[in-house]
Amino acid sequence: MTGRNEVVASRERFAREREKMVEQQLVARGITDPRVLAAMRRVPRHLFVDEALRERAYGDHPLPIGEGQTISQPFIVGRMTELLKLVGVEKVLEIGTGSGYQAAVLAECASRVCSVERLPRLAARARQTLEALAYTTVWVRTANGTFGWPDEAPFDRILVAAGGPSVPPPLFEQLAEGGRMVMPVGEADTQRLQVIEKVRGEIRVTDDSGCVFVKLIGKYAWQT
């Protein structure tokens, strides 16, 4: 098999793996939003992990990405994105860029994504991957995520990809009226996904399901 044929075969194999992931891990567990399903069929998850882990990229589990961080399990990515109820016109703030995979999924479903990562090496790698894949509507910034991105606020939607003890006040302040935030809230080692809405300036919280995320670090979250 020539080099070109090998590349084509690899691309087709990973496409089949994505389809299997979507059907067995998302659809089978109740994710129905067509925008989310289409996005996760398109985004090449294997390109957001180290080459040594690419054969495991579409498995039903998180994977390490360095710096003590992980790329979330596909179902969690799909569920959090679905809970945002995106229609394609929203400006989204993501806290915790990590590998950049969740940002790419959001970019497929929304108009613009502003993503904040506190770890410079992860931010640089995610930015490089997203640029290589031509995700021109994603902006990555290195900063402490608990402060949000004030100069780009307000945001129609906010997704927090790390668990904290409560909703950081700056993030709620930067959520637009009528907006939705999805965040894991709870203890350091186990949380519940919550949907936070801003209704006439007041907070409205709906509990969704249990989850385990890396800790949200910062002034308005865990200190270490």
Structural domains of the chain, with CATH: 3-211 (3.40.50.150)
Cα dihedral value 101, 69, 157, 31, nearest 10: 60
The pLDDT, as a whole number, for residue 6 is 65
Query: Beta partners for 193?
Result: 184
- pLDDT computed for residue 9 by the predictor: 75
Question: Bridge partners of 215?
Answer: 163
Q: At what angle do helices 101-109 and 74-83 cross, to 10 degrees?
A: 40
Instruction: Give the pLDDT means over successive 10-residue stretches in the chain (224 positions).
Output: 67 95 98 98 98 96 96 98 98 98 98 98 98 98 98 98 97 98 96 97 96 95 92
- At residue 11, the pLDDT reads 87
Q: Rg of the Cα trace of the chain?
A: 17
Supply the residues annotated as catalytic: 72
CA atoms within 13 A on the CB side of 56: 13
Q: Write the DSSP assignment of 9-39 as a string of letters.
A: HHHHHHHHHHHHHIIIIIGGGT---HHHHHH
